[in-house]
Copies of this chain bind each other. A is one copy, B any other.
C-alpha cells in the first residue's frame, strides 16, 4: 500500500487546473446559453447535431452517441426541446421501436440565433485565453484523454485508430460534418 504513486507538484497543478477550468468554463458557457437563448448546453448540442444531419433528423441512439450523457437524460432533453417546439418526434419508418428527432423550423431559427453568442462565450472563456500552441497541445492531449476513456462498444474505424496512433486527432471529417455550428458554424 505504501506503493502509491502520488502526484508531484506539476501533476497536481495540472489536475487542479483541469478541475477549476472545467467547472468554471462549463458554468460560464451554460449560463450564457441559458439566459441568452433559454437552452441548456446539452440541448444546444442536440440542436447542433440535428442541424448537421441530413433532413435535420436523427435517431435517438445516434444522437446520444456524440452527446456525453445517458440515454434517459437524452429522452428528457428531447422532451424539453419538444415541449418548446424546437424539435418534433417521428417514429422511424424502418424500425418500429426507433424514434427520430426532427429539427423544426423554429428549432433551426433558435439555433441560428443562439450560435453567435455561444461561440463568443466559448472564446471568452477558453479559446481566446489560450496561445495558438497551447490550443494545439490541448486539442491533441485532451483529445487523446477523451478517446481513451471512450466506451469500448462502437468501432467507428477511427476509434481504434485513434486509440493506438493517438497522434493527431485528425478531424476525420468523414463523420458527416460537424462543420455544423457546434460552436462553430458555416
Q: Which residues of A contact B (CB under 8 A)?
A: 1, 4-28, 68-69, 115-116, 119-120, 122-123, 125-127, 129-150, 166, 168-169, 171, 181-186
Instruction: Please report whether the interface of chain A is mostly helix, strand, loop or mixed according to DSSP.
Output: helix
Q: How far is the CA of A139 from the CA of B134 in the complex (A)?
A: 11
A125 CB contacts on chain B under 8 angstroms: 145, 149
B166/A4 in contact, CB under 8 A: no
Contacts A22-B26, A126-B145 given; indicate if A166 touches B6 (C-beta within 8 A).
no
Cα–Cα distance between A127 and B15 once the two chains are bound (Å): 8
* Neighbouring B residues of A148 by C-beta, 8 Å: 129
> Are the C-beta atoms of B145 and A11 separated by less than 8 Å?
no
